[in-house]
Structure 1
Amino acid sequence: MFLKAQRSRRRLAAVVLAAALAAAGCGGSGGGGGTAADTLVVYTGQAGDWQLNFNPYSPTRIEGLGTIFEPLFFYNVTGSTDPVKRLGESFEWNADGTVLSITTRSGATWTDGKPFTAKDVVFTLDMVAKTPTMNSVGYKGKAAAIDDTHLTVTFDEPSYLVGPQVLGRTWIVPEHLWGQLSDPATNVIATPVGTGPFQLDEFKAQAFTLKANEGYHSGAPAVKKIRYLSLSGNQAGADALKAGQVDWQTGPVPDIANVEKNYPGYKANTTPMNQAALLTCSNAALGCEGPQTDPAVRKAVYYALNRTQVNSLAFENTASEISPGFALLGRDDAVISSKLAERTAPMQPDTAKAGQLLEGAGYAKGGDGLYAKDGQQLALNVKVVAGWTDYITALDTMTQQLQQAGIKLNVQQSSWNEWADARGQGKYQLIIDSLYQGPAADPFYLYSYFFATSSTAPVGQTATPNFARVSDPAIDAAIDALKAIDPKDTAARQPHLDAIQTRVEETVPYIPLLTAGTTSEYNAKKFTGWPDESNPYAFFAVWSAPDNSEIYRTLKPAGQ
């Protein structure tokens, strides 16, 4: 019965895939100037129709970071390497880290033919500074153009660590067009004009296509088209891969260890980078409601999990250990705090400790085996995107694990748009997601994104991206202190990194699961130039921007 049901589901998936590809115009020909050989077909995990919006500062954007709208430099977050020139040529700090001098590229043009100048950079920085919902990094500098290729950014205090945010995570937009927008934070950009290696070709709800910018300042990319598919989820992605209809996807496939055998011509790359967690709406003072606002409940969940089992059943053992202080194991080993109670989250459950924490917080186990307090059963709702099969399997596994520890977990599947809206607005108890890294190989950026008061908001307002609503004076003080210290002064930085990590471990606003082994399956027969262990020049994930754009512009069709 099980095998028959499996075959039926696979036949249905194949029918759905064929219909989706036909509707999207994804046959063998690239069309419109591209060919099958130089068209890269990608699947980012999008489940459901694309909603037209290329505004790089909108939380509902679908693409454009690095591909259409460029930063000044590209930073490789997988390790400490020199930044790659994009719209910038060089930069330099003054002696005390309060003035950043930038030289921009000359000769670059926007895709409408207008020249790019340093004034566009100043306009963009000013726009971000005065628009809180666009200013996810708390930028407070004052930018001034000296001439068409030089500008300065002045800060009131030493701001070394703001540099990579300004240089590597600010998407430069054209003043001559964006100066006319009524609300640049929310305006839908349907016809994007950028300086990047690609520009919009055509848009359909089932798929959209970017085409090479033949006037690109660094030379037109060899990949002439990129087609982005919308499918029904991970299973449809795996089926598209099997059919040879997708050249690059990042996500799980069955028997991931044998990709080259099961998908001839394809290879796989696994990079430990993003940190999977149960995000909690943790702060009652900012409007969060539910038992997860109690740190004891969050810690009980932390100790009740069998991470080894989750890794095996949900992630095919591609994930790895995670630090409760959220410094990235491997890359950040030198700065992981020696003051942590546990350097890594336990891979095996400790249900006794989970029970002690709950009982210390006033919970008592009932006859049904579940804990309760004040007549309310300890039940937590967790949101996940329908079609994210790895995360859904992880949650199904955790549901059984937490049940054994006396905690009920209710899994709620929804569309990506509904999930993202709930995450941003704080209208959830738990959400499964990953914490991502910043523009440079430094844990400071993750802390400033996900743990700083400046990047959160009360429930009902959009947080960007401190979704857990963390607002902790000790963490804020340490983040502010780190901004003023030259990153080369490791001894001066460590006490502040210690303070953040130990406080994060103590309060657990994001319940650490595992360091996600981000696995991409890619068509090595059709394209060359992919990152690998000998040259990890970008984070290998199709949904990670601007890393994906650096890969797009490096790839070459086989034979070139």
Structure 2
Amino acid sequence: MLLSTKRRRARAWIAAASLTAAASLTLAGCTSSGAPGGSDATTLVAYTGQAGDYQINFNPYSPSQIGGIGTIYESLFFVTNVNTNEYKPLLGTEYSWNDAGTELTVRLRDDVTWSDGEPFTADDVVFTFQMLLDTPSINNSGFDGTVEATGDHEVVFRFDYPAFVNDPAILGRTPIVPAHLWKDIDPTTNVIAEPVGTGPYTLGDFKAQAFTLSANPDYWGGEPAVKTVRYLSLSGNTAGADALAAGTIDWQTGPVPNIQKVSETYPGYSGVTIAANQITLITCSNADLGCVGPQTDPAVRRAIYAALNRDQLNSLAFQGTASEISPTLALPTTQTDWISSSIAEPIAPNSPDVAAATAELEAAGWTRGADGVYAKNGEPLAVTVEVVTGWTDYITAVDTMSQQLKEAGIELRVAQSSWNEWTDKQTKGNFQLSINSLGQGAVSDPYYLYDKYLNSAFTGPVGDVASQNVARFSNPEVDAALAVLKVTDRKDAAARQPQFDTIQAIITEDMPYIPVLTGGTSSQIHTDKFEGWPTQDDLYAFPAVWASPDNAEVFKALKPRGE
């Protein structure tokens, strides 16, 4: 899927009908005094955008899991895509590749116990990765090697090919589970109501409207100063903003009124916005694979790119929280070193260039009609963009684009549909344009986005499901470059850059994903109550409350004020 479950949830609550603040806080178990029921200075109240009852499930490999990754279940290392820091040791203490990139050796901690008191050993790591191999439906990282315990606290992963690019997923995106309990569990169907992990928290109370995580006194890293994390279910964005105003939640991620002035609107809180994902107009681009419509012409895609007024879009649709985007789709924040020096325009213009747009169209044989709309071979340049009902920011964005593109002789029609219908159209290729954000990989490295969204292996003819490369993009030179990158050490910049140069030269010309803006993820944090939050100057983790395992690193770093 293009959006994670948590990202979808964060968007879905934007459209949820809101109750009054008093009713919302009563449902959440908050007192009329404005303090969360049963909370104190060491309790952090979190709102992820959950707008309905929680259904208990702490199976980290289930798509319906409601939490626990990072907080209850740990990976070998903490790996994040919000910075380029070295991996932070968790259950693993050090790792190394052999020169060929076919063996990855990981040394494990020898002082870790599961929350039920059993010792953690290499057998748990071997069990977890063998479970992925034996259960392809949960093997989302695509692990295809072997794993062997070479001691009580050492494991070796082996591959038939140089597998350097696999280490973020192996080391940082695979929650380790206890073999002594999970040997009797079906990871595809079992609901875990009593999770046992090695992490800094254990499950406390659970109710449909709220649940708590309790600090683990036996945690190998020391008991966290935040003793309780309380997750609430409210009724939507209005209730979340009301709870901020009342001081009854400590961390939420989502749009609020006056988002640029959080500290003024909500005294005691601060706002932090992180450039996270590339907002694009995804195109069904490939006529050879069955895509139909004017958008199959690269000149049309380049004309749309040139005609956008990004400053206006940012102001009207995103409250100024979005930022510049590169036509290479490399993030301008953390991936600038990978942007090819041969790209004449490494950052998309903020102002429209209508002359450039019309020049693109006319050079490709489009002729402007008396109605102001271009046409070719009797076909008007009219394209439909798909958007999910309730995604208010994206709806505002595409409505604004519709007006902007008229200046360039392009008619943009807007079609709203449910999430399920929108997803079905996109994955099967039954669309012309669709607005969405592109997801990042486990680390900040453009390879992972390119491989996911441009690799021919992850697409197919219209009608077949393509859950990743939904643009139906297929280019043998890009495939060849991706194949080289897959077997190249990520630290070998000299070997990797020529491959990025090739990919970027092609996609800036072809534009199967038309760059709009880099979307900002905005969070509101209770800085008067806790210190140690991520900041722009110290972005040690992604500060979105629903982002796992990053949120666990934040919980561990926070200290109640005055302690």
For the criterion TM > 0.5, the same-fold answer is: yes
The equivalent residue for 2:94 is 90
- Specify the SS of the correspondent of 1:537: coil
Write the letter of the residue equivalent to 1:478: A
| In 2, Cα distance between equivalents of 1:385 and 1:56 | 29
The equivalent residue for 1:20 is 24
Give the Å deviation of 1:144: 1.2
Write the letter of the residue equivalent to 2:157: V
Contact conserved, 1:395 with 1:411, CA < 8 A, in 2? no
1:432-463, Cα deviation, whole Å (9 max, x unpaired): 33234333332223323333345557777765
| In 2, Cα distance between equivalents of 1:205 and 1:466 | 37
In the TM superposition, 1:436-475 aligns within 5 A as 436-454=439-457, 465-475=468-478
Contact conserved, 2:18 with 2:237, CA < 8 A, in 1? no
- Specify the SS of the correspondent of 2:48: strand
Write the letter of the residue equivalent to 2:327: P
| In 1, Cα distance between equivalents of 2:82 and 2:549 | 13
Q: TM-score, normalised by structure 1?
A: 0.85
- Could you say if the C-alpha distance between residues 450 and 172 of structure 1 is closer, same or farther in structure 2, counting changes exceeding 3 Å? farther
The equivalent residue for 2:489 is 486
The equivalent residue for 1:3 is none
The equivalent residue for 1:167 is 171
Moved more, 320-329 or 469-478: 469-478
The equivalent residue for 1:345 is 348
1:125-178, Cα deviation, whole Å (9 max, x unpaired): 233345554444443221111233111011222222221221112222333444
Contact conserved, 1:17 with 1:239, CA < 8 A, in 2? yes
| In 2, Cα distance between equivalents of 1:47 and 1:61 | 16
Where structure 1 has 5 or more consecutive residues not aligned to the other structure, the ranges are: 1-11
Give the Å deviation of 1:324: 0.9
| In 2, Cα distance between equivalents of 1:83 and 1:365 | 55
Write the letter of the residue equivalent to 2:125: V
Q: TM-score, normalised by structure 2?
A: 0.85
- Could you say if the C-alpha distance between residues 488 and 423 of structure 1 is closer, same or farther in structure 2, counting changes exceeding 3 Å? same
- Specify the SS of the correspondent of 1:240: helix
Contact conserved, 2:69 with 2:548, CA < 8 A, in 1? yes
| In 2, Cα distance between equivalents of 1:21 and 1:82 | 41
The equivalent residue for 2:279 is 276
The equivalent residue for 2:388 is 384
The equivalent residue for 2:508 is 505
- Identity over the aligned pairs, expressed in percent? 54
| In 2, Cα distance between equivalents of 1:167 and 1:424 | 30
What is the aligned-residue RMSD (CA, Å)?
3.3
- Could you say if the C-alpha distance between residues 328 and 233 of structure 1 is closer, same or farther in structure 2, counting changes exceeding 3 Å? same
Moved more, 458-467 or 222-231: 458-467
In the TM superposition, 1:21-100 aligns within 5 A as 21-27=25-31, 35-48=39-52, 50=54, 52-100=56-104
Contact conserved, 2:387 with 2:395, CA < 8 A, in 1? no
Give the one of 191, 209, 213 matched to 2:212: 209
Contact conserved, 2:455 with 2:478, CA < 8 A, in 1? yes
The equivalent residue for 2:306 is 303
1:372-399, Cα deviation, whole Å (9 max, x unpaired): 666577231322362x443333233223
- Could you say if the C-alpha distance between residues 468 and 545 of structure 1 is closer, same or farther in structure 2, counting changes exceeding 3 Å? farther
Does residue 127 of structure 1 match 2:131? yes
Give the one of 231, 234, 243 matched to 1:228: 231
- Specify the SS of the correspondent of 1:553: helix
| In 2, Cα distance between equivalents of 1:424 and 1:113 | 45
- Could you say if the C-alpha distance between residues 401 and 128 of structure 1 is closer, same or farther in structure 2, counting changes exceeding 3 Å? farther
Give the one of 520, 539, 543 matched to 2:542: 539
In the TM superposition, 1:112-261 aligns within 5 A as 112-182=116-186, 184-185=187-188, 188-261=191-264
Write the letter of the residue equivalent to 2:108: T
| In 2, Cα distance between equivalents of 1:501 and 1:187 | 44
- Specify the SS of the correspondent of 1:101: strand
Contact conserved, 1:137 with 1:455, CA < 8 A, in 2? no
- Could you say if the C-alpha distance between residues 375 and 480 of structure 1 is closer, same or farther in structure 2, counting changes exceeding 3 Å? closer
Contact conserved, 1:425 with 1:463, CA < 8 A, in 2? yes
- Could you say if the C-alpha distance between residues 165 and 557 of structure 1 is closer, same or farther in structure 2, counting changes exceeding 3 Å? same
Moved more, 96-105 or 74-83: 74-83
In the TM superposition, 1:319-334 aligns within 5 A as 319-334=322-337
- Could you say if the C-alpha distance between residues 273 and 487 of structure 1 is closer, same or farther in structure 2, counting changes exceeding 3 Å? same
Contact conserved, 1:385 with 1:419, CA < 8 A, in 2? no
